Structure formats: structure tokens, C-alpha cells
Amino acid sequence: MKPTKQLHDLGQSLWLDYITRGILDDGTLEGYIRDLDVTGLTSNPTIFDKAVNGSDDYDDQIAELREQGLEPEPLFFELAISDLRRAADLFRDVHERTDTVDGFVSLEVSPKLAYDTESTIRQAAELHARGERGNIFIKIPGTPQGLPAIEESIYAGVPINVTLLFDSEDHLAAADAYMKGIERRIADGLNPDVRSVASIFMSRWDVAVADEVPLELKNRLGIAVGKKAYANYVEMLASPRMQKLENQGARPQRLLWASTGTKDPEASDTLYIEAFAAPDTVNTMPEDTLLAFADHGEVGDPLLPNGGDADEVLAEFEKAGIDVAALAERLQKEGADAFGKSWEDMISSISSEAERLAGKS
């Protein structure tokens, strides 16, 4: 049995953190769904920037949209929504078979809005409506300004993928925002079944401290942070608050492991897939990580519900001079800034491509 099938049978959803029009056109994504148990997909500005710049697959649509007078940012959203609708249709069977638990694709609001609550709320609602598919998540960053936007969007019935979370505190804040939105829906007599995932970023932890810790602690911080988050997730699922919501028809916000591609060339290329095997969670992985895991990954024991040695390992990092809480805050800001830079690069690339195509006509 393939490792991807074993992980799926354990109860974890395998999502692809990658999209191009090419993998939609040539059947690659369909093959991953059929052969590698992929049940969802995520995207971000960096992924779309590479997709648009890496081929001429988008040229015709870019030229057409430019002729219609669209500026680069709305033009990008048209490109992205076109791709994600197609991907969502490929996952429709999964979505229906799992009673809407799985089979989602994700589209991110503009990273420029990471610190703008009201604009995030408006754009999330607009993108959800334009997506025209029930299995499209809108990604909102879990920044302090993003949290009220998450609550408001959930209340409005918009399925949300909370992104840019880095530790347990971030995750629990996102879960609280989700539950507040659901509680408001229940109070107003609305359907409480609005889906959400909370994406906690893993590999960036180890990159951040690679040159600051002794060898024995290398590539261990992300896993320890993840174990701690998982323990708190399990506790949250069993809490009276969540149980009450489930009794009223709500469903839990699922924990999603993101940034699970290994950055250290000396470490296992399946490190963060094998480390975070756990039921009732999602692991979204880059294409090369998915293929590596399918080829030689191993599924061992699932994560311990109590977090195992997480507290001990985190204490070792604190002793080595790493302020884990402060680092989480820094990583979230750096992540928001990096996505903002990718966004600007992508919009600039689309603008240049549109001008180039106009010159050829």
C-alpha cells in the first residue's frame, strides 16, 4: 500500500500546496487525486506568480482581460478563480462523499490587506461569491486585524482557511474567532455548518533558528511547536464549548499543517509529513514533497494527543536562548511581509506580461 494511502487511511487529508493551469490541462492533478489520495489543494501568491511566469498557459486569457480594460489586480483574480473553479470541480466528488468535510481548494485575499480588517471582510465576501463553488475556501491571515475579519466572514457564511499561524496561541485565537462566528450564527437562527481550517506553518521555525541552536536541536523546533499545537487542538475539540456547538449542528475547524516542505537539504525530504501524521487534520504539501512521500515515505505512530515530548523540547530551545513566543510573532510578521512582496512581484509580472502581449497584437 502506498504511503499516501496509509496516511489517508489514518484519517489525515492530503492536500497539494501547488496549482498551475498546466496540471489542470494535462491531467496531472486528476492523477494525484486518483493515485495519491490527494483530497484538496491550496494556493498563495508565490505559487500563482510561478505559475503565470513559468508558462504561456495564461497568455490568451491575460490578453483578453487586458482588452476588457482590467487592471493587473482584478485581472489576477480572474486568472486564479478560473483555475480554482476547475480544481474545485475535480474535488467535487470528495467534497460530497465526505459530507463537505474535505475536497476544498483555497484562494487568498490580497496580502496587502493583512492589517486591514474591513477591507479583508469585503474582499473575502466578494471572492467567495465570485468563486461560485461551495468547496472554495477564502484564505485570511490570522493577524490581530485578521481575527475579527475571520469571525465576521464565518458569521456571513464564508468558508475560511486561516493562514499565517505559527504556534498554539495563534491557532487557538483563530479557533476562538471561528467559534465566535458560529455562535453568532446560532444566536440568529442561521445554519451553523460553515467550514474552516486553521493553517499552522511548520518548516519556517527550523529555518529561523538553524544557525542559532546546537546541532542536537536542529530541525526539532517546528515539530515540537506542532506537537504542542496538536495537543491543544485535541483539548479544544473535547471542550464543553466545542461540544455544545457540535450538538447544535456545527463542525470543528480542522487543524492544517502548512509549509511542510523540508528546507534543509541535509534533512529528510518527508520530515514534516511523517512527523505530523494525525487523524482529523490536514497536511498540505508542495508537489515535490508529495511525490517524495509517495515514493519512500513512512507512516509510523500518529501524534500523541497529549503532545508527547513537546514541552520538554520547547524548554530545551528556551534554555538555548530561543524566545519561542517572540519568534512566533516575528515569523507571522515576516510571513505577512513575504506574501506581500510576492503579491507585488506577481502583480508586476502580470502587468509586464499584459503589456508584452499587447505589443504583439
Active site residues: 139
Cell of 20: 498551475
Buried b (16+ CB within 10 A) or exposed e, 275-297: bbbbebbbbbbbbebbbbbbeeb
Cell of 144: 490581530
The distance in angstroms from the start CA to the end CA of the chain is 52
Asked if 220 contacts 313 with a C-beta cutoff of 8 angstroms, the reply is: yes
Radius of gyration of the chain (CA): 20
Cell of 122: 469585503
Asked if 7 contacts 277 with a C-beta cutoff of 8 angstroms, the reply is: yes
Asked if 93 contacts 39 with a C-beta cutoff of 8 angstroms, the reply is: no
Alpha helix positions (H), 161-239 = 168-187, 203-209, 221-237
Taking alpha carbons only, the member of 116, 263, 138 closest to residue 204 is 263
